[in-house]
């Protein structure tokens, strides 16, 4: 049985790969650093499961999943992400993912999620499942201004709305600070807001970001 772990941060990826090898000694864990490498390895190796990060450089995790499942419809994909925003969870599930858990989960949750998705079941981390049930409007991001956003635009929108500095956004996504500034200008235009503050209010009003999620200034 082979599992492909896709994460662009080498230390994080290698750490979780080592953990999976301890938890599931019968499983071979293969690693990929981005969507392109994940596509290539999935097409050359018979995989039982892909554990996918959302925030990949280049092709996003959601788009990679969509492309993988078009080619390999029987493949199981479990999202394992630092992001817990409901519209992002909804996008992952709509792309065909079998499950979604966050990186704040305990090793026991990760192991349970892997085993259940390998067994053919759906698995959503309990707090996320409760939020999805209680807040379907936020989960579906009904505001029409949000519907035309790409996955990368949405990811940057969430981080900006949370108060993440542009420098950290650039580091996390492996892009330049200028590119982040360009995305902010593009997002203001797409979302029909004139300032960063209005962008934050839109994220809060649509339930994408909670007030308590805002980073300290």
State pLDDT tens for residues 5-57: 999 999 999 999 999 999 999 999 999 999 999 999 999 999 999 999 988 88
What CA–CA distance (Å, rounded) separates 56 from 73?
Answer: 21
Q: How many CA atoms lie within 13 A of 131 on its CB side?
A: 21
Identify the CA nearest to 112 among candidates 98, 123, 127: 123
Categorize the per-residue pLDDT at 217 as very low, low, confident or very high, splitting at 50, 70 and 90. Answer: very low
Identify the CA nearest to 151 among candidates 40, 61, 25: 61
Categorize the per-residue pLDDT at 94 as very low, low, confident or very high, splitting at 50, 70 and 90. Answer: confident
Categorize the per-residue pLDDT at 211 as very low, low, confident or very high, splitting at 50, 70 and 90. Answer: low
Categorize the per-residue pLDDT at 216 as very low, low, confident or very high, splitting at 50, 70 and 90. Answer: very low
Which domains are present in the chain? 2-134 (3.40.50.2300), 143-213 (1.10.10.10)
Residue 45 CB burial class (10 angstroms; 0-12, 13-18, ≥19)? exposed
CA distances to 41, 118, 196 from 47, rounded to whole Å, are: 9, 11, 43
Convert 173-195 to b/e letters by CB count within 10 Å (16 or more is b).
Answer: bebeeeebeebbeebeebbebee
Report H helices in 53-195: 61-71, 86-94, 107-118, 126-134, 136-140, 151-161, 166-173, 177-191
């Amino acid at each position: 049985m082979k599992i492909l772990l896709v994460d662009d941060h080498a230390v994080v990826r290698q750490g979780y790969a080592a953990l999976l090898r301890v938890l599931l000694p019968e499983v071979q864990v293969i690693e990929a650093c981005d969507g392109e490498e994940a596509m290539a390895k999935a097409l050359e190796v018979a995989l039982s499961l892909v554990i996918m990060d959302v925030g990949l450089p280049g092709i996003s995790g959601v788009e990679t999943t969509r492309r993988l499942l078009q080619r390999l419809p029987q493949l199981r994909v479990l999202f394992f992400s630092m992001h817990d925003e409901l519209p992002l969870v909804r996008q992952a599930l709509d792309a065909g993912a079998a499950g979604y858990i966050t990186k704040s989960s305990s090793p026991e949750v990760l192991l349970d999620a892997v085993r259940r998705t390998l067994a053919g079941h759906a698995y959503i981390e309990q707090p996320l499942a409760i939020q999805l049930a209680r807040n379907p409007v936020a989960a579906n991001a009904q505001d029409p201004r949000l519907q035309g956003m790409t996955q990368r635009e949405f990811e940057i929108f969430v981080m900006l709305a949370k108060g993440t500095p542009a420098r950290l956004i650039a580091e996390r996504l492996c892009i330049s600070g200028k590119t982040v500034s360009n995305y902010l200008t593009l997002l203001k235009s797409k979302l029909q807001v004139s300032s960063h503050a209005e962008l934050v209010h839109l994220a809060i009003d649509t339930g994408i970001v909670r007030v308590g999620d805002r980073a300290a200034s």
